[in-house]
Structure 1
């Protein structure tokens, strides 16, 4: 490396380290200003400049999906227990806290992840491995006022990926999306569209009869060949539907195990349900034969593929090969590093940013993920190119990835409250966090909005060995300059 670049790099790293200290100090000062604080179970999270993160509730049992009701209660799916309600204090910003013990709304050990509310707040939805249910709900009293009604059933046995994410669309009234993952790491049943395995489907819940929908047989298919798309989201501006997919483990290619850095996790586009027709809707996204390349250099016989290009697993043959993968399947809109495990995705109020929780790796020598990141969007599409390796900006992360997974928070669900604050569950630690900007509204913040984070989408998406959040140096546009300078350095 030339001496000039060495000096530049040293200066940039010094700036970043100074900002890290400022960020921690800011977060500590904010915590000190609150009337009460909850100490994280593990180390204090690392947070990007301009943001504050605090624990608002702890001691929960595997909290997964979360949502706010119309009276401001935070409803939490405690996996293996049921749905509980948290009443929060009226404190502003990050000083909000849960008051008292969680109140059980529905005690049912089969409920494990999915949760939704109707736009009027009077119908509660939740999912088990086998079915989606609804209840009449009274937000003022935080209680269900009816017995469960099975809306969608026949979703298979409790093996493999057992969560069933649900999302009630706002742009297309009455349409409930259901994401069902595979029954194993490489599930041949996903090759048969009639099984309903590894799909995202939409069901009209306004005209459900006394008989529940059959998941394999009924519903509108938005996509199949999706290994485990746990996070699904609707862009509030355009109605575009996206999912984030957990890709395959133990990936092999031509006899080589290259699973450490391949294949990549995916952000997939599934079209619209507002009458706009696109070729992606209802198509096959590759699983269990085809996957998105991430670390291209480690893929044998890669043929010059780029990040995000679909490549075949195993040994290529006349039937399953790279040409088949590229021509017959939908490629991801964005690709993330292998094993990051995205579990939720929420757009901000104007569709200029999508927030994604990365639960973190288990099948990788060096841990990766364990963070909350944001992606810049415009007109219903990510700003970053499909082959980008820098599409995400990290806002909250674990300070030391070497301690993961055992001593780290692991992000799962996201929810916005009426004040524009972002809440995040961590199942491994039984905690709920709140994430707020120092100034402005989190629900309006995006990488280009003038509110934190002030980067323009050029921040590295892969975590460093320390796991710290992306750093800036406090002024508008400063992240852009920092990362542009870093990216300009030659690779060695």
Structure 2
């Protein structure tokens, strides 16, 4: 009995050790030591990358990484190495093609990348990594102000569709009250039509949702076809001259229905920006009856008399935590969200990967919940952020259920096991 108890204690300690200690592949040195949630462990797959942003796993199990600064796309061929996964090769397969977004067609034979101005399609061979000549399929997306990322997502349920998100032209982009501005929205485009004649973002495609300040992550629930987005909300918020920006507004997880649903009641809805923002700390806002996620009108925005009639999110998150990607596990029981972290609040917040549990295609938690996020991977010292910590950006699952995470500022790729 005593020996069994001792062994159980050793195994428990070993499991705890694995959960908090990041292993690295040979020749790879991780810069930071993540703190892992219960049941998870982590390894460092790659380092020394240039601003790795969104990522995707191809049909042969290789990891494709969009690097920032118009660097291009990198292909990591993966192999198991004991109880972690490592890269047997790491090569650049595209140059100067992207600053953020990357996706693959449903059949895995077309690679899409995005940058400030356009979305480009390439033929792609997963077995060799060979990439064909690029063809722009969506153009006319340049902004003169901020928010250069263009999140993109393809659909298993509607294989000829690519979703493209375009953010606002600044913190408060007043012209986006008009849908024809072509900003602060998600649009759906036909891939096949774009291959013939490129879509112009402002005039082409269909509006899936608008009034969304800056969507940086998009995904499709693999089991229901439902489309979800994560949004970065407004900075430096004031109400009646009072600074309320530290804990407001909320970042937002929004549902947009299924692309193959001809009666999709969410299609084309407006989510309030720039006139209406969602509350995270209603008490700090000080409006009677306001709940988490309720929309209200702050200072400095266009007039809005109908915030109550605008669509709001399905879940909400801490202010300024900057969610940049969302991905579902294979059975859609959980969505994982990468929070890049705040610059607009003190103390810092974010800099973590969190889980939201789902059931029957929707989050388990209520829309007003403040505890829907379950810790998966966090920085051990958030006080060192943003300059001396990892900052999650892109997420991708492989067929073995391993979750890959990019960190742009540290130039690393992590692998989470147990997701």
Alpha-carbon distance in structure 1 between the residues aligned to 2:327 and 2:41: 19
Question: Do residues 200 (structure 1) and 186 (structure 2) align?
Answer: yes
- Cα 1:70/1:92, change in 2 over 3 Å: farther
Aligned to 2:316: 335
2:7 equivalent in structure 1: none
User: How does 1:219-258 map onto structure 2 within 5 Å?
Assistant: 219-258=205-244
Any conservation in 2 of the 1:255–1:314 contact (CA below 8 Å)? yes
State the distance in 1 between where 2:338 and 2:257 align.
Answer: 22
SS at the partner of 1:189?
Answer: helix
Trace 1:47-446 onto structure 2 (pairs within 5 A).
47-80=36-69, 81-93=71-83, 95-100=84-89, 102-108=90-96, 111-145=98-132, 147-157=133-143, 159-300=145-286, 302-314=287-299, 319-321=303-305, 324-327=306-309, 329-437=310-418, 442=419
Task: State the SS of the aligned residue for 2:18.
Answer: helix
Residue matched to 1:472: none
Of residues 30, 53, 59 in structure 2, which corresponds to 1:40? 30
TM-score, normalisation: structure 2: 0.93
Consecutive unaligned residues of structure 2, counting only runs of 5 or more, are 1-11
For the residue of structure 1 that corresponds to 2:215, the secondary structure is coil
Compare the two structures and name the one with the higher helix fraction: 1
- Counterpart of 1:458? none
Deviation at 1:35, TM superposition (A): 7.4
- Give the Å deviation of 1:416: 1.1
Structure having the larger proportion of residues in strand: 2
| 8 A contact 2:406–2:414 mirrored in 1 | yes
Partner Cα distance (2:234, 2:388) in 1: 25
Separation (CA, whole Å) in 1 of partners of 2:268 and 2:16 = 46
Deviations 1:54-75 (A, max 9, x none): 1110000000011112222211
1:155 match: secondary structure: coil
Give the equivalent residue in structure 1 for 2:3.
none
Q: How far apart, in 2, do the equivalents of 1:316 and 1:48 lie? A: 39
Give distance in 1, aligned partners of 2:373 and 2:353: 10
How many corresponding residue pairs? 408
* Pairwise CA distance, 1:36: 4.0
Once the two structures are TM-superposed, the CA of residue 25 in structure 1 deviates from its matched residue by: 1.7
Distance of aligned partners of 1:37 and 1:353 in 2 relative to their CA distance in 1, 3 Å threshold: farther
Task: Give the C-alpha shift of residue 120 in structure 1.
Answer: 2.3
Q: Which runs of 5+ in 1 are unaligned?
A: 1-19, 443-492
* RMSD of aligned alpha carbons: 2.1
User: Where does 1:447-458 land on structure 2 (aligned, <5 Å)?
Assistant: none
Deviation sequence 1:444-485 (CA, Å, 0-9, x none): xxxxxxxxxxxxxxxxxxxxxxxxxxxxxxxxxxxxxxxxxx
Give, in whole Å, the separation in 2 of the partners of 1:30 and 1:149.
Answer: 40
- Of stretches 247-256 and 154-163 in structure 1, the one that deviates more from structure 2 is 154-163
**Which residue pairs with 1:26 in the alignment?**
18
